[in-house]
A and B are shown apart, each in its own frame.
Chain A
């Protein structure tokens, strides 16, 4: 009985120690990986790149607005050309007629 309890205690002790060892191992692996990633400065570069790209957002917005204005202008020009310049031949003809009449 006593030996049984002693054995049981010793088992639990080993289990607890194994537990601690495993925990510390996992923590070490975690810190090692953190060191690797921080040491390669990759998150710094990537964060900088993302910030730069985000600052381009204003340029993109400006370009978008400008293109919309350009589209308006283009449609206005198209309208002008088709109506005004299309009728110039007719007007030339009528001018000639009037001149002939006068």
Chain B
């Protein structure tokens, strides 16, 4: 009996189920979904040409999956496994300590003499030294700029303070003048009150005098022709 597609796991070649895992995890397709029948290694669930019409294996699938599922055994075997070919295109290089590669004891003699290439280490350390120097120069530059700025701000604050002091002195003079004005005003008011008090009494006294010695009524609004030019 053939494999029932709905009971296969999601990543298996013949199943119509798709899971997010298949698409989101690259390079694991070969390990997740090993082809069950290997007559064609191309029989992977990965949709290479998603618009291809489905084969007879998908007749059991739900209509929802028909668009996604492509089990086309008609693809030419140009590229058996893209991941493997990609891995094979990476050039072969040795680690820094070549002796850490192989565990088998046969090759140990050659690697005992394998030391670090001092020129490369020297260049690496020189580069690191240069990097540290640049970092420290940047930091020192910023700090110096901040110092200058602080001095500028201090100078500005002092200038403003002097301006405020001058303004305060001016206002002090104004306040003093205001004080004098107020004092004069109060004196004038007292005078007016006193006059208001005195004038009716003078009128009474005047009226008590006999007709011959009566003065004219007192008024301080009289015109003073002598003062006019």
Contact = CB atoms under 8 A, between A and B. Distances in A.
Interface of A: 32, 36-37, 39-43, 45-46, 48-50, 52-53, 56, 59-60, 62-63, 66-67, 69-70, 73-74, 76-77, 80-81, 84, 88, 91, 94-95, 98, 101-102
Contacts of A66: 157-158, 161
B146 interface: yes
A102 B219 CA distance: 10
Contacts, number: 98
Interface in B159-182: 160-161, 164-165, 167-168, 171-172, 174-175, 178, 181-182
B123 to A, nearest CB: 12
Contacts of A39: 129
Main SS of chain B's interface residues?
Answer: helix
28 contacts: A36-B129, A40-B131, A40-B132, A41-B136, A42-B136, A43-B136, A45-B139, A46-B136, A49-B139, A49-B140, A50-B143, A52-B143, A52-B147, A59-B150, A59-B151, A60-B154, A63-B154, A63-B157, A76-B168, A77-B164, A80-B171, A91-B181, A95-B185, A98-B185, A98-B188, A98-B189, A101-B192, A102-B192
Contacts of B175: 80, 84
Given A40-B133, A81-B171, 13 more contacts: A36-B125, A36-B132, A40-B129, A43-B136, A45-B139, A53-B146, A56-B151, A62-B158, A67-B157, A73-B165, A91-B185, A94-B189, A95-B181
A45 B129 contact: no
Contact of B153 (A45, A63, A88, A101): A63
Nearest to A44: B136
Interface residues of B, number: 40
A102 B128 contact: no
B7 interface: no
Given A32-B125, A37-B132, A69 B161 contact: yes
A46 B139 contact: yes
